[in-house]
Structure 1
Protein backbone atom coordinates (compact mmCIF):
# COMPACT_ATOMS: atom_id res chain seq x y z
CA UNK A 1 0.00 0.00 0.00
CA UNK A 2 1.53 3.29 -1.06
CA UNK A 3 0.19 6.35 0.72
CA UNK A 4 1.73 9.54 -0.56
CA UNK A 5 0.24 13.03 -0.44
CA UNK A 6 0.68 14.60 -3.86
CA UNK A 7 2.57 17.60 -2.51
CA UNK A 8 4.98 15.60 -0.31
CA UNK A 9 8.60 15.44 -1.43
CA UNK A 10 9.27 12.17 -3.18
CA UNK A 11 12.25 10.01 -2.21
CA UNK A 12 15.06 10.21 -4.70
CA UNK A 13 15.98 7.08 -6.67
CA UNK A 14 17.87 4.71 -4.40
CA UNK A 15 16.37 6.34 -1.28
CA UNK A 16 15.24 3.43 0.88
CA UNK A 17 13.41 5.47 3.51
CA UNK A 18 9.80 4.24 3.66
CA UNK A 19 8.34 7.61 4.64
CA UNK A 20 4.80 6.42 4.03
CA UNK A 21 5.16 3.55 6.50
CA UNK A 22 6.92 5.73 9.06
CA UNK A 23 4.07 8.21 8.91
CA UNK A 24 1.44 5.47 9.01
CA UNK A 25 3.08 4.13 12.19
CA UNK A 26 3.00 7.60 13.74
CA UNK A 27 -0.69 8.06 12.89
CA UNK A 28 -1.63 4.50 13.85
CA UNK A 29 0.04 4.88 17.24
CA UNK A 30 -1.62 8.26 17.79
CA UNK A 31 -5.05 6.77 17.19
CA UNK A 32 -4.29 3.45 18.94
CA UNK A 33 -3.62 5.29 22.21
CA UNK A 34 -6.23 8.04 21.78
CA UNK A 35 -9.19 6.19 23.31
CA UNK A 36 -7.24 4.99 26.37
CA UNK A 37 -5.66 8.45 26.74
CA UNK A 38 -9.11 10.03 27.17
CA UNK A 39 -10.07 7.55 29.88
CA UNK A 40 -6.70 7.74 31.63
CA UNK A 41 -6.96 11.54 31.75
CA UNK A 42 -10.09 11.19 33.93
CA UNK A 43 -7.85 9.56 36.55
CA UNK A 44 -4.94 11.96 36.08
CA UNK A 45 -2.96 9.12 34.47
CA UNK A 46 -0.91 8.99 31.29
CA UNK A 47 0.57 6.42 28.95
CA UNK A 48 3.21 5.32 31.46
CA UNK A 49 0.42 4.40 33.89
CA UNK A 50 -1.30 2.50 31.10
CA UNK A 51 1.80 0.45 30.29
CA UNK A 52 2.44 -0.42 33.94
CA UNK A 53 -1.21 -1.30 34.56
CA UNK A 54 -1.32 -3.41 31.39
CA UNK A 55 1.69 -5.53 32.26
CA UNK A 56 0.86 -5.89 35.96
CA UNK A 57 -2.63 -7.06 34.94
CA UNK A 58 -1.29 -9.48 32.32
CA UNK A 59 1.47 -10.89 34.54
CA UNK A 60 0.24 -11.15 38.14
CA UNK A 61 3.14 -11.41 40.58
CA UNK A 62 5.53 -9.54 38.31
CA UNK A 63 8.43 -8.12 40.32
CA UNK A 64 9.55 -4.52 40.09
CA UNK A 65 12.86 -5.71 38.59
CA UNK A 66 11.00 -7.72 35.93
CA UNK A 67 8.77 -4.75 35.13
CA UNK A 68 11.79 -2.46 34.79
CA UNK A 69 13.39 -4.94 32.40
CA UNK A 70 10.18 -5.38 30.44
CA UNK A 71 9.50 -1.67 30.00
CA UNK A 72 13.18 -0.72 29.66
CA UNK A 73 12.71 2.36 31.84
CA UNK A 74 14.57 3.78 34.81
CA UNK A 75 13.65 2.93 38.37
CA UNK A 76 13.04 6.62 39.01
CA UNK A 77 10.42 6.91 36.25
CA UNK A 78 8.71 3.70 37.35
CA UNK A 79 8.63 4.70 41.03
CA UNK A 80 6.46 7.77 40.47
CA UNK A 81 3.97 5.97 38.24
CA UNK A 82 3.82 2.86 40.41
CA UNK A 83 3.40 4.93 43.58
CA UNK A 84 0.40 6.71 42.03
CA UNK A 85 -1.17 3.42 40.91
CA UNK A 86 -0.71 1.93 44.38
CA UNK A 87 -1.98 5.03 46.21
CA UNK A 88 -5.10 5.22 44.03
CA UNK A 89 -5.89 1.54 44.55
CA UNK A 90 -5.22 0.12 41.08
CA UNK A 91 -2.09 -1.90 41.91
CA UNK A 92 -0.90 -3.57 45.09
CA UNK A 93 2.59 -4.59 46.07
CA UNK A 94 2.87 -7.85 48.00
CA UNK A 95 5.87 -9.24 49.81
CA UNK A 96 7.51 -12.22 48.11
CA UNK A 97 6.97 -15.62 49.74
CA UNK A 98 10.52 -16.93 49.21
CA UNK A 99 12.29 -13.59 49.41
CA UNK A 100 10.69 -11.09 51.77
CA UNK A 101 12.65 -8.23 50.14
CA UNK A 102 11.00 -8.91 46.81
CA UNK A 103 7.84 -7.00 45.90
CA UNK A 104 5.31 -8.75 43.69
CA UNK A 105 2.87 -6.55 41.80
CA UNK A 106 -0.81 -7.39 41.38
CA UNK A 107 -3.80 -5.55 39.96
CA UNK A 108 -6.60 -4.82 42.36
CA UNK A 109 -10.18 -5.38 41.19
CA UNK A 110 -10.30 -1.72 40.11
CA UNK A 111 -6.95 -2.08 38.33
CA UNK A 112 -8.10 -5.16 36.46
CA UNK A 113 -11.33 -3.46 35.45
CA UNK A 114 -9.51 -0.41 34.10
CA UNK A 115 -6.81 -2.45 32.33
CA UNK A 116 -9.41 -4.66 30.65
CA UNK A 117 -11.51 -1.63 29.66
CA UNK A 118 -8.49 -0.02 27.98
CA UNK A 119 -7.48 -3.29 26.29
CA UNK A 120 -11.00 -3.77 24.94
CA UNK A 121 -10.90 -0.33 23.32
CA UNK A 122 -7.60 -1.15 21.64
CA UNK A 123 -8.76 -4.65 20.69
CA UNK A 124 -11.77 -3.14 18.93
CA UNK A 125 -9.47 -1.00 16.77
CA UNK A 126 -7.06 -3.90 16.11
CA UNK A 127 -9.83 -6.38 15.28
CA UNK A 128 -11.45 -3.95 12.82
CA UNK A 129 -8.13 -3.43 11.04
CA UNK A 130 -7.39 -7.17 10.95
CA UNK A 131 -10.86 -7.98 9.59
CA UNK A 132 -10.01 -5.93 6.51
CA UNK A 133 -6.87 -8.03 5.88
CA UNK A 134 -8.35 -11.49 5.61
CA UNK A 135 -7.59 -14.75 7.41
CA UNK A 136 -3.77 -14.55 7.41
CA UNK A 137 -3.71 -10.86 8.31
CA UNK A 138 -3.09 -11.34 12.03
CA UNK A 139 -0.08 -13.58 11.46
CA UNK A 140 1.42 -11.22 8.88
CA UNK A 141 0.97 -8.19 11.15
CA UNK A 142 2.43 -10.11 14.11
CA UNK A 143 5.52 -11.06 12.07
CA UNK A 144 5.90 -7.48 10.86
CA UNK A 145 5.64 -6.02 14.36
CA UNK A 146 8.04 -8.65 15.72
CA UNK A 147 10.46 -7.63 12.98
CA UNK A 148 10.43 -4.05 14.32
CA UNK A 149 11.63 -5.20 17.75
CA UNK A 150 15.38 -4.98 18.31
CA UNK A 151 16.87 -8.36 17.39
CA UNK A 152 18.59 -8.58 20.79
CA UNK A 153 15.18 -8.33 22.52
CA UNK A 154 12.98 -10.16 20.02
CA UNK A 155 13.31 -13.70 21.42
CA UNK A 156 12.63 -12.51 24.96
CA UNK A 157 9.58 -10.47 23.92
CA UNK A 158 8.13 -13.25 21.77
CA UNK A 159 8.76 -15.75 24.58
CA UNK A 160 6.88 -13.55 26.99
CA UNK A 161 3.85 -13.72 24.67
CA UNK A 162 3.76 -17.52 24.61
CA UNK A 163 0.63 -18.83 26.22
CA UNK A 164 -0.93 -15.38 26.62
CA UNK A 165 -4.65 -15.29 26.11
Structure 2
Protein backbone atom coordinates (compact mmCIF):
# COMPACT_ATOMS: atom_id res chain seq x y z
CA UNK A 1 0.00 0.00 0.00
CA UNK A 2 3.03 2.29 0.27
CA UNK A 3 3.25 2.51 -3.51
CA UNK A 4 0.32 4.58 -4.77
CA UNK A 5 0.95 3.57 -8.37
CA UNK A 6 1.08 -0.17 -7.82
CA UNK A 7 0.64 -2.56 -10.74
CA UNK A 8 -2.85 -3.71 -11.54
CA UNK A 9 -4.43 -0.52 -12.76
CA UNK A 10 -2.97 -0.59 -16.25
CA UNK A 11 -6.07 -2.34 -17.57
CA UNK A 12 -8.18 0.62 -16.49
CA UNK A 13 -6.41 3.06 -18.80
CA UNK A 14 -9.19 2.62 -21.34
CA UNK A 15 -11.74 4.50 -19.21
CA UNK A 16 -13.83 6.92 -21.25
CA UNK A 17 -14.48 10.52 -20.33
CA UNK A 18 -18.05 9.54 -19.41
CA UNK A 19 -16.78 6.85 -17.02
CA UNK A 20 -14.31 9.26 -15.46
CA UNK A 21 -17.09 11.84 -15.11
CA UNK A 22 -19.19 9.26 -13.26
CA UNK A 23 -16.24 8.65 -10.93
CA UNK A 24 -15.95 12.38 -10.28
CA UNK A 25 -19.68 12.58 -9.56
CA UNK A 26 -19.41 9.58 -7.24
CA UNK A 27 -16.68 11.42 -5.31
CA UNK A 28 -18.90 14.51 -5.00
CA UNK A 29 -21.86 12.49 -3.73
CA UNK A 30 -19.71 10.35 -1.44
CA UNK A 31 -18.15 13.48 0.05
CA UNK A 32 -21.59 14.95 0.61
CA UNK A 33 -22.63 11.77 2.41
CA UNK A 34 -19.39 11.59 4.37
CA UNK A 35 -19.80 15.17 5.64
CA UNK A 36 -23.59 15.16 6.16
CA UNK A 37 -23.63 13.80 9.71
CA UNK A 38 -20.75 15.98 10.97
CA UNK A 39 -22.31 19.01 9.25
CA UNK A 40 -25.51 18.49 11.27
CA UNK A 41 -23.49 18.24 14.49
CA UNK A 42 -21.36 21.28 13.62
CA UNK A 43 -24.45 23.36 12.78
CA UNK A 44 -25.63 22.98 16.38
CA UNK A 45 -22.54 24.93 17.45
CA UNK A 46 -22.49 27.37 14.57
CA UNK A 47 -19.34 25.75 13.16
CA UNK A 48 -18.39 24.67 9.67
CA UNK A 49 -16.07 22.18 8.02
CA UNK A 50 -12.99 24.32 8.67
CA UNK A 51 -13.64 23.96 12.40
CA UNK A 52 -14.03 20.21 11.94
CA UNK A 53 -10.73 19.88 10.07
CA UNK A 54 -8.89 21.94 12.69
CA UNK A 55 -10.32 19.93 15.58
CA UNK A 56 -9.56 16.66 13.75
CA UNK A 57 -5.89 17.44 13.14
CA UNK A 58 -5.30 19.02 16.55
CA UNK A 59 -6.66 15.78 18.01
CA UNK A 60 -4.38 13.71 15.75
CA UNK A 61 -1.26 15.64 16.82
CA UNK A 62 -1.76 17.25 20.23
CA UNK A 63 0.65 20.13 20.71
CA UNK A 64 0.98 20.80 17.01
CA UNK A 65 1.92 24.36 16.28
CA UNK A 66 -0.03 26.79 14.15
CA UNK A 67 2.47 26.64 11.26
CA UNK A 68 2.22 22.85 11.09
CA UNK A 69 -1.57 23.05 11.11
CA UNK A 70 -1.42 25.64 8.32
CA UNK A 71 0.67 23.24 6.24
CA UNK A 72 -1.63 20.27 6.88
CA UNK A 73 -4.83 22.17 6.13
CA UNK A 74 -3.49 24.20 3.22
CA UNK A 75 -5.40 27.33 4.25
CA UNK A 76 -4.36 30.93 4.75
CA UNK A 77 -3.13 32.14 8.12
CA UNK A 78 -6.04 34.58 8.27
CA UNK A 79 -8.58 31.81 7.67
CA UNK A 80 -7.02 29.50 10.27
CA UNK A 81 -6.74 32.29 12.84
CA UNK A 82 -10.43 33.06 12.46
CA UNK A 83 -11.30 29.39 13.10
CA UNK A 84 -8.85 29.07 16.00
CA UNK A 85 -10.07 32.25 17.68
CA UNK A 86 -13.59 30.81 17.73
CA UNK A 87 -12.50 27.40 18.99
CA UNK A 88 -10.34 28.96 21.70
CA UNK A 89 -13.05 31.44 22.78
CA UNK A 90 -15.60 28.61 22.96
CA UNK A 91 -13.29 26.52 25.15
CA UNK A 92 -12.58 23.71 22.67
CA UNK A 93 -8.91 24.45 21.97
CA UNK A 94 -6.14 25.53 24.31
CA UNK A 95 -3.30 27.58 22.80
CA UNK A 96 -0.04 27.44 24.74
CA UNK A 97 3.13 29.45 24.18
CA UNK A 98 6.06 27.29 23.05
CA UNK A 99 8.63 26.34 25.67
CA UNK A 100 11.60 26.80 23.30
CA UNK A 101 10.19 29.48 21.02
CA UNK A 102 7.85 31.97 22.67
CA UNK A 103 6.53 32.99 19.22
CA UNK A 104 5.06 29.53 18.63
CA UNK A 105 1.60 28.60 19.76
CA UNK A 106 0.96 24.92 20.47
CA UNK A 107 -2.60 23.67 20.17
CA UNK A 108 -4.41 21.13 22.32
CA UNK A 109 -8.04 20.07 22.54
CA UNK A 110 -9.74 20.71 25.84
CA UNK A 111 -12.06 18.06 27.27
CA UNK A 112 -14.92 19.86 25.56
CA UNK A 113 -13.02 19.89 22.26
CA UNK A 114 -12.13 16.21 22.58
CA UNK A 115 -15.79 15.37 23.19
CA UNK A 116 -16.85 17.23 20.03
CA UNK A 117 -14.08 15.59 18.00
CA UNK A 118 -15.13 12.15 19.25
CA UNK A 119 -18.76 12.81 18.28
CA UNK A 120 -17.77 14.00 14.80
CA UNK A 121 -15.34 11.14 14.22
CA UNK A 122 -17.77 8.51 15.43
CA UNK A 123 -20.39 9.71 12.94
CA UNK A 124 -17.85 9.31 10.14
CA UNK A 125 -16.53 5.98 11.42
CA UNK A 126 -20.05 4.56 11.41
CA UNK A 127 -20.50 5.54 7.76
CA UNK A 128 -17.01 4.34 6.74
CA UNK A 129 -17.35 1.05 8.62
CA UNK A 130 -20.69 0.30 6.92
CA UNK A 131 -19.34 1.22 3.48
CA UNK A 132 -16.19 -0.85 3.97
CA UNK A 133 -18.21 -3.82 5.21
CA UNK A 134 -20.53 -3.62 2.19
CA UNK A 135 -17.68 -3.21 -0.32
CA UNK A 136 -15.37 -5.92 1.02
CA UNK A 137 -11.62 -6.04 1.67
CA UNK A 138 -10.45 -5.90 -1.96
CA UNK A 139 -12.58 -2.84 -2.66
CA UNK A 140 -11.30 -1.18 0.52
CA UNK A 141 -7.68 -1.74 -0.53
CA UNK A 142 -8.46 -0.48 -4.04
CA UNK A 143 -10.27 2.57 -2.71
CA UNK A 144 -7.33 3.48 -0.51
CA UNK A 145 -4.92 3.02 -3.42
CA UNK A 146 -7.04 5.35 -5.56
CA UNK A 147 -7.21 7.98 -2.81
CA UNK A 148 -3.44 7.84 -2.29
CA UNK A 149 -2.83 8.10 -6.03
CA UNK A 150 -4.92 11.30 -6.12
CA UNK A 151 -2.88 12.93 -3.34
CA UNK A 152 -0.10 15.35 -4.17
CA UNK A 153 3.31 13.79 -3.36
CA UNK A 154 3.79 15.88 -0.20
CA UNK A 155 0.32 14.98 1.08
CA UNK A 156 0.95 11.30 0.34
CA UNK A 157 4.30 11.47 2.17
CA UNK A 158 2.67 13.05 5.21
CA UNK A 159 -0.23 10.56 5.12
CA UNK A 160 2.15 7.59 4.99
CA UNK A 161 4.36 9.03 7.75
CA UNK A 162 1.27 9.30 9.97
CA UNK A 163 0.41 5.65 9.20
CA UNK A 164 3.94 4.46 9.97
CA UNK A 165 3.88 6.39 13.24
CA UNK A 166 0.81 4.38 14.19
CA UNK A 167 -1.56 7.32 14.32
- Normalising by the smaller structure, the TM-score range is 0.7 to 0.9
Which stretch shifts more, 48-57 or 13-22?
13-22
Q: Which residue of 2 aligns with 1:37?
A: 39
Number of the residue aligned with 1:123: 125
SS in 1 for 2:24: helix
1:10 is matched with: none
Matches within 5 A, 1:1-165: 15-16=16-17, 18-165=20-167
Shift of 1:152: 4.2
Give the alignment's Cα RMSD to 1 decimal: 1.7
Q: Distance in 2 between matches of 1:127 and 1:137?
A: 13
Higher-RCO chain (CA-CA 8 Å, sequence separation at least 6):
2
State the TM-score, normalized to the length of structure 2.
Answer: 0.85
Are 1:130 and 1:138, in contact at CA under 8 Å, matched by a contact in 2? yes
Give ranges in structure 1 of 5+ residues lacking alignment.
Answer: 1-12
Q: TM-score, normalised by structure 1?
A: 0.86
For residue 98 of structure 1, report the CA deviation from its aligned partner.
Answer: 1.6
* Structure 2: stretches of 5+ with no match in the other structure: 1-13
State the number of aligned residues: 153
Cα gap change, 1:126/1:50 in structure 2, threshold over 3 Å: closer, same or farther? same
What is the rounded CA distance, in whole Å, between the counterparts of 1:103 and 1:155 in structure 2? 25
- Determine which structure has the larger helix proportion and give its number: 2
- Please report how far the alpha carbon of residue 15 of structure 1 lies from its aligned counterpart in structure 2 after TM superposition: 4.4
Measured in 1, the distance between the counterparts of 2:94 and 2:16 equals 50
Separation in structure 1 between the aligned mates of residue 139 and residue 25 of structure 2, nearest angstrom? 21
Structure 1 stretches of 4+ moved >4 Å: none
Note the alpha carbon deviations across 1:69-120, whole angstroms, 9 max, x for none.
Answer: 0001100000100000000000010111222221100000010010011001
